[in-house]
Amino acid sequence: MSRGRSKEKDIQQAWRRELSRDRPSDKTAACLVCLEKVEMATKNQENLEYKEAISQIQKTLMGAIGELKGIIQKNEQKLEQQISDLKEDNKSLKELVTNQMKEMDIKVNRVREQARMNTKRIYEQEKKTKKLDKKTVYLEDHSRWQNLRLRGIPENLSEGKELTEIILQWVQKVLPEIQWTRFDLERCHRVGRRNLKGPPRDVLIRFFNVRKKQELMNVLRLKPELLKIQDAAIQAFNDLSEQTIAWRREMKLITTILRDKSIKYSWGTQFL
């Protein structure tokens, strides 16, 4: 393309030199026409070369665009395949999670049901245990029903004299219409270890006949002034289990009100 242009320029320069010479006008006109034709040919040649260059560039661009389209299509296909694979994996994962959640729900429901049943069993067992405890307390109190506790008997009263003899003399005084003997008392002894600085120990008496013990208690309720042994004021209690004593302490507020209102009451057993 550059060589063609240089030749055209050489021709144009040659024609211009010829025109500069002194020649007839017809020749000059002819030369001018030729020069115009040469210029037009040159322009046409340049236009053709430009068109060819532009066409070549267009072909190159179209080829590059085609290659880019192919690459883009391949990438799109890869992306579509990857997206499809991800969707499939997501679907499989979702199904797996759904199945696991269903299994977990089943297991949780089983555990809840088992916990509910265990709670019910524990509640029933606690009810039975409480009932058995109350029955045990009742049986223990029943076994002690023949016992009587005396509190406040000085320790020195039994020194040099058998404690049973002192108690027999006292019960004979309280209930003289009955002839008391040693055979009426199954046992008679103090409870616990002796503490020289503390109060005297309680005396526990067990009667062979619970009826005689009950008659003695009835007289003491009616005649509290008989609660004395050799000028020592004493107290008489039924021998009860620790649970029953604690239960009666809980009822102290009620019994205090009853006594303040001069309302008579009697102790029974705990509700079974």
202: helix, strand or coil: coil
Tell me which long-range contacts 1-10 makes (C-beta under 8 A, separation of at least 24).
1/49, 4/45, 4/49, 5/42, 5/46, 8/38, 8/41, 8/42, 8/45
Query: Token pair of 256, please?
Result: 């205090």
Does the pLDDT value for residue 30 go beyond 90? no
pLDDT, residue 172, reads: 94
What is the pTM for the complete model shown?
0.55
Phi-psi label, residue 171: left if phi above 0, alpha if psi -120 to 50, beta otherwise: alpha
Segments in the chain forming alpha helices (H):
2-20, 25-143, 163-174, 210-222, 242-250, 252-260
Higher-pLDDT residue of 126 and 44 is 126
Q: What is the pLDDT of residue 42?
A: 67
The predicted structure's pLDDT at residue 84: 84
Q: Looking at residue 116, what is its pLDDT? A: 92
**pLDDT at residue 175 is higher than 90:** yes
The fraction of the chain above a pLDDT of 70, given in percent, is: 80
Name all contacts of 224-228 with Cβ < 8 Å and 24+ positions apart. 226/173, 226/174
29 has pLDDT over 70: no
Summarised one tens digit per residue, pLDDT across range 52-94 is 777 787 778 787 788 888 888 888 888 888 888 888 888 888 8
CA-based radius of gyration for the chain: 65
Which pLDDT value is given to residue 4? Answer: 52
Q: Kindly state the average pLDDT of the residues 131-138.
A: 87
Q: Are 164 and 188 in contact (CB under 8 A)?
A: yes
- Identify which has the larger pLDDT, 212 or 272: 212
CB 216 within 8 A of CB 175: yes
Decide: 235 and 129 in contact? Cβ < 8 Å. Answer: no
End-to-end, the C-alpha distance of the chain in Å comes to 125
* 272 and 135 Cβ atoms separated by less than 8 Å: yes
Per-residue pLDDT, averaged over 176-188, amounts to 92
Q: With bands split at pLDDT 50, 70 and 90, how would you rate the model's confidence at 194?
A: confident
Band (pLDDT 50/70/90 cuts) for residue 173 is very high
Higher pLDDT among residues 219 and 18, named by residue:
219
Identify the CATH assignment for 145-239 out of 3.40.50.2000, 3.30.70.1820, 3.30.70.420, 3.40.50.300. 3.30.70.1820
pLDDT above 70: residue 1: no
CB contact set of 88 (below 8 Å; sequence gap of 6+): none
The residue with tokens 């020194």 is 159
The residue extents of the domains of the chain are 1-106, 145-239, 241-272
Tokens encoding 258: 């009853």
Task: Indicate the SS3 state at residue 189.
Answer: strand
**pLDDT single digits (tens) 227-270:** 999 888 999 999 888 888 888 888 889 989 988 988 888 776 65
pLDDT-derived band at 155, boundaries 50, 70, 90: confident
pLDDT at 272: 41
pLDDT digits (tens, 9 = 90+) for 103-118: 999 999 999 999 999 9
Report how far residue 207's alpha carbon sits from residue 183's, in angstroms, rounded to the nearest whole number: 9
pLDDT of residue 123: 93
What is the distance between the alpha carbons of residues 168 and 182, in angstroms, rounded to a whole number? 7
- Answer yes or no: are the C-beta atoms of 167 and 179 closer than 8 Å: no
